[in-house]
Amino acid sequence: MKSKIYGVLALFLLAGCTASKPGAFERVDEDPVSHTVQYRYHPQKVNKDALKLDVANYCHAQGFDLVEALPPQDSHIPGLITAWYQCNFAIKS
């Protein structure tokens, strides 16, 4: 019983941490092999412009000039969304 209470409390604390961060998002994972980065955010509170800027800055720092968003998914933390973004090169003509 205690473990369930602690688990629920931990979920609320994690959800609150994301919502209280500037922009209501956080970078939670990276995959350097596929040049992707994952973010978790609260869909009603997220500052999408700040999120896009953070992703663009991340990709630029890795040497890329294009960001492609992959379809967002529900997070394992209730009420939050996770989304992967892939860093790519723009095709120059």
Domain boundaries, the chain: 2-88
* Token pair of 58 as six digits: 């991340």
- At 91 the pLDDT is 82
Q: In which element (H, E) is residue 81 found?
A: strand 81-88
Q: Residue 22 has what DSSP assignment?
A: G
Q: Where are the alpha helices (DSSP H) in 1-93?
A: 2-20, 48-61
Mean pLDDT of the chain, nearest integer: 84
Mean pLDDT of 82-92: 92
Mean pLDDT of 5-33: 67
Mean pLDDT of 30-55: 95
- At 16 the pLDDT is 46
Distance of CA 56 to the CA centre of its chain: 13
Q: CB 13: neighbour CB atoms within 10 A?
A: 10
Q: Are 15 and 42 in contact (CB under 8 A)?
A: yes
- At 23 the pLDDT is 82
* Token pair of 78 as six digits: 């209730």
